């Protein structure tokens, strides 16, 4: 995630074989297509099916929109030369293009916005299940949109260093600039690793642990009650809602695991690089690690489809049934309340 690792594919022709270049191009193409179609599908289904609408689904729609933008606007930048097309005239548009586009500021801002959005979804479920009496106050309509806006602002702030690491040279065009000292680079490496990977992992891991523990405890209480007597309608409804919540938690847990798998190689490598480890630049592992982090933008729709039955039903409601208001998302109030717990 630095100026030395964010080299475009075409700049490494002398280092990489043609076969590997084609392999990388194919992976980027697959990620772009799957990400665009999948995230667009998620947004359409969650917005079109009333039974799936909830605060959780609003956060998931936001996450899918961010990942969609990554795939449409940013991934293609990895398929074209970077500095070679930057005007070699300091000032004005050339400076802006170099510092904000060639530096990959846009990509990493969108990518970190996606990470922060995933944190927000997990924290929303955490409060809803562990502290339900505080939920309406914490996740009011106003606070919900403030949280979404905060994801964008914080992501941009964490990446403001990138425009400072690039400049336009009259002879070489857009180029990266060296760090002022090894100590500054090492401190930045630790900061970047903590903000972009370690802190999100700890927060989401803690939230998942508390949520799963709370749900299991509530289910055990109801099961003991069922063993001693017949569950009344209220208990049956609560058990149904708990099962629906467990489905969503399972989906989010898989999303967190995919986040770790996709981001860990890139983040660990970048940390070691900034700490002074003698890592080879332009290696196959370097490009694969970047591809994995980019690929995180296309996996969430696949996870929703494979792990969440109500979402699969929503897809059928939108695309497989006749398009009339009585068939798309029409259900009793009890079903709506229960399914909304799932997405």
pLDDT at 83 over 50: no
- Per the structure, how many domains does the chain have? 1
In a domain, residue 134? The reply is yes
Q: What is the pLDDT of residue 228?
A: 60
In a domain, residue 140? The reply is yes
Q: What is the pLDDT of residue 77?
A: 65
pLDDT at 324 over 60: no
**14 against 311, higher pLDDT:** 311
34, with CB counted inside 10 A (0-12, 13-18, 19+), is: middle
Q: What is the pLDDT of residue 7?
A: 42
pLDDT at 16 over 70: no
Q: What is the pLDDT of residue 91?
A: 64
The CATH number given to whatever domain includes residue 200 is 1.20.1070.10
**Which residues lie closer than 8 Å to 111 by C-beta, 6 or more apart?**
70, 74, 293, 294, 296, 297
Indicate the pTM of the whole model: 0.79
60-69, 97-106, 121-130: the lowest-pLDDT one: 97-106
- 151 contacts 117 by C-beta, under 8 angstroms: yes
Q: What is the pLDDT of residue 340?
A: 42
pLDDT over 90 percentage in the chain: 29
pLDDT tens sequence across 231-284: 566 656 666 666 667 777 888 888 899 999 999 999 999 899 999 888 877 677
In a domain, residue 4? The reply is no
In a domain, residue 219? The reply is yes
- 233 contacts 307 by C-beta, under 8 angstroms: no
pLDDT at 334 over 70: no
pLDDT at 13 over 50: no
pLDDT at 326 over 50: no
Q: What is the pLDDT of residue 289?
A: 86
In a domain, residue 228? The reply is yes
pLDDT tens sequence across 107-130: 889 989 999 999 999 999 899 888
As a whole number of angstroms, the distance between CA 162 and CA 225 comes to 58
pLDDT tens sequence across 124-169: 989 988 898 999 999 999 999 999 999 999 999 998 888 888 888 7
pLDDT at 12 over 90: no
The per-residue pLDDT of the chain, averaged, comes to 79
Residue with tokens 């979404």: 148
In a domain, residue 177? The reply is yes
As a whole number of angstroms, the distance between CA 67 and CA 39 comes to 7
pLDDT tens sequence across 179-237: 888 998 999 999 999 999 999 999 999 999 988 888 888 777 767 666 666 656 665 66
In a domain, residue 2? The reply is no
HEC-encoded secondary structure of 65-88: HHHHHHHHHHHHHHHCCCHHHCCC
- 71 contacts 32 by C-beta, under 8 angstroms: yes
- 83 contacts 4 by C-beta, under 8 angstroms: no
- 44 contacts 53 by C-beta, under 8 angstroms: no
Residue range(s) defining the domain that contains residue 163: 9-339
CA 3 to mean position of chain CA atoms: 22
Q: Which residues pair with 174 in a beta bridge?
A: 168
pLDDT at 339 over 60: no
pLDDT at 87 over 80: no
Q: What is the pLDDT of residue 53?
A: 85
- 118 contacts 200 by C-beta, under 8 angstroms: yes
């Amino acid at each position: 995630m630095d100026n030395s690792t964010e080299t475009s594919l075409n700049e490494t022709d002398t280092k990489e074989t043609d076969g590997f270049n084609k392999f990388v191009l194919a992976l980027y193409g697959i990620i772009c297509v799957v990400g665009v179609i999948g995230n667009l599908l998620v947004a359409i289904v969650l917005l079109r099916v009333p039974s799936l609408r909830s605060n959780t689904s609003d956060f998931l729609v936001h996450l899918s929109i961010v990942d969609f933008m990554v795939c449409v606007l940013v991934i293609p930048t990895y398929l074209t030369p970077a500095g070679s097309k930057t005007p070699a005239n300091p000032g004005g548009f050339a400076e802006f293009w170099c510092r904000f586009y060639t530096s990959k500021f846009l990509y990493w801002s969108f990518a970190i916005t996606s990470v922060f959005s995933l944190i927000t979804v997990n924290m929303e479920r955490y409060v809803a299940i562990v502290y339900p009496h505080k939920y309406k106050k914490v996740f009011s309509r106003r606070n919900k949109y403030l949280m979404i806006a905060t994801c964008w602002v914080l992501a941009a702030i964490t990446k403001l260093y990138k425009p400072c690491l690039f400049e336009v040279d009259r002879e070489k065009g857009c180029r990266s600039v060296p760090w002022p000292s090894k100590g500054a680079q090492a401190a930045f490496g630790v900061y970047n690793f903590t903000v972009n990977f370690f802190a999100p992992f700890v927060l989401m891991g803690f939230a998942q642990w508390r949520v799963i523990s709370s749900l299991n405890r509530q289910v055990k209480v109801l099961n003991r009650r069922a063993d001693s007597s017949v569950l009344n309608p209220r208990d049956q409804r609560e058990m149904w809602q708990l099962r629906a919540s467990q489905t969503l938690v399972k989906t989010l847990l898989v999303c967190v695991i995919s986040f770790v798998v996709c981001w860990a190689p890139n983040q660990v490598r970048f940390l070691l690089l900034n700490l002074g480890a003698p890592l080879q630049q332009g290696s196959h592992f370097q490009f694969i690690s970047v591809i994995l982090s980019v690929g995180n933008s296309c996996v969430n729709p696949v996870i929703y489809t494979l792990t969440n039955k109500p979402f699969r039903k929503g897809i059928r409601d939108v695309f497989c049934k006749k398009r009339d208001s009585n068939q798309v998302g029409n259900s009793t109030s009890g079903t709506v309340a229960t399914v909304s717990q799932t997405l």
